[in-house]
């Protein structure tokens, strides 16, 4: 049971492993996607169809017919990864061995919908994968296996997602092998240490340049590529322009007299924007209703400044320096 790319990685590892029979694949219904709003099958469905597996896409499990359909498959175990639906107790009780979940955090930290993004936004140095036994609560079940992964200063939600998806698929297979050998140990979660990773909203992408540069950097890379990070720029006479930025690098300490939010110059191909304490070098900016531009392209085109007097050279730094 899973829907996006993250879940497809687990399904692929299961199929490559071959140690179990996948008797059915569940994912969310096809939904409109892109500018044309064309209904698109989710990645898990595409992989299942390629593998000639039966696919089921109930809207939810509130209809008894959907519960009965799952029961008719007589599954020994439900394997769940980023399904996007809350499974009721009536579903969790169907399989003989219950249900296990692939979760992209080191539980009990970051339960919920956006563990990868929230860990980066909070500046955490480490995250990982947890294989857990599912129960009625939200990511509250016993821990079966865990594996950690350091979060680099230039990691984004996309790069971390891709690595954790592969790690999750491999760890899921490890868990199934240990289960078959009777070597899985259930460890109850310490609920006092629990934290919640709420679903992302587009409004969270608004950049507050009055924050320290490391906070700004963590938020931008944690929200990349979705929902993205943006700010409203008043640099054009009589017009406010919304600018979406890509993750960049931390630059020099803030020059005297430069105010947070001010576009101060360019370094190589990046625009330098002032935060509370340092400059932030942004490599790509996308003005509203326009294509993405390299930092220098934006600076020359929208500020009409291409003189060498504005070329600054930031020194990338790491946290703690």
Known binding-site residues for (6S)-5,6,7,8-tetrahydrofolate equal: 105-108
Beta-carbon contacts of 275 under 8 Å, excluding residues fewer than 6 positions away, are 209, 210, 211, 212, 213, 216, 254, 260
User: 263 - beta bridge partners?
Assistant: 273
What does the alpha-carbon distance between residue 8 and residue 45 come to, in Å, rounded to a whole number?
8
What does the alpha-carbon distance between residue 281 and residue 195 come to, in Å, rounded to a whole number?
32
What does the alpha-carbon distance between residue 44 and residue 50 come to, in Å, rounded to a whole number?
10
Q: Detail the residues annotated as belonging to a binding site.
A: 105-108
What does the alpha-carbon distance between residue 315 and residue 27 come to, in Å, rounded to a whole number?
46
What are the distances in angstroms from CA 190 to CA 119, 184, 185, 282? 19, 19, 16, 40
Answer whether 184's CB lies under 8 Å from 215's CB: no
Beta-carbon contacts of 2 under 8 Å, excluding residues fewer than 6 positions away, are 8, 10, 11, 26, 27, 44, 80, 81, 82, 83
What does the alpha-carbon distance between residue 95 and residue 80 come to, in Å, rounded to a whole number?
13
What does the alpha-carbon distance between residue 39 and residue 273 come to, in Å, rounded to a whole number?
39
């Amino acid at each position: 049971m899973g829907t996006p790319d993250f879940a497809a990685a687990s399904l692929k590892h299961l199929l490559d492993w071959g140690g179990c029979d996948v008797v059915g694949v569940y994912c969310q219904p096809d939904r409109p996607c892109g500018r044309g709003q064309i209904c698109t099958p989710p990645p898990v469905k595409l992989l299942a169809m390629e593998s000639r597996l039966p696919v089921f896409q109930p809207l939810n499990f509130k209809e008894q017919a959907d519960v009965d359909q799952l029961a008719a498959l007589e599954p020994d175990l439900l394997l769940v990864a980023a399904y996007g639906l809350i499974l009721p107790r009536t579903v969790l009780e169907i399989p003989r061995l219950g249900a296990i979940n692939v979760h992209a955090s080191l539980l009990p930290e970051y339960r919920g919908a956006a563990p990868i993004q929230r860990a980066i936004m909070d500046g955490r140095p480490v995250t990982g994968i947890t294989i857990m036994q599912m129960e009625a609560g939200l990511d509250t079940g016993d821990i079966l296996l865990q594996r950690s992964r350091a979060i680099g200063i230039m990691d984004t939600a996309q790069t971390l997602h891709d690595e954790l998806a592969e790690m999750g698929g491999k760890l899921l297979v490890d868990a199934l092998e240990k289960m078959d050998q009777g070597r899985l140990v259930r460890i109850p979660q310490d609920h006092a240490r629990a934290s919640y990773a709420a679903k992302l909203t587009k409004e969270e992408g608004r950049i507050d340049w009055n924050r320290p540069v490391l906070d700004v950097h963590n938020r931008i890379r944690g929200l990349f590529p979705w929902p993205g990070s943006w700010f409203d720029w008043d640099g054009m006479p009589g017009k406010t322009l919304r600018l979406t930025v890509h993750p960049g690098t931390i630059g020099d300490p803030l020059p005297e007299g430069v105010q947070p939010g001010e576009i101060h110059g360019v370094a190589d191909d990046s625009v330098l924007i002032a935060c509370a304490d340092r400059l932030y070098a942004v490599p790509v900016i996308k003005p509203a209703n326009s294509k993405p531009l390299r930092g220098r392209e934006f600076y020359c085109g929208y500020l009409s400044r291409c003189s060498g007097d504005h070329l600054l050279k930031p020194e990338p730094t790491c946290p703690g320096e």
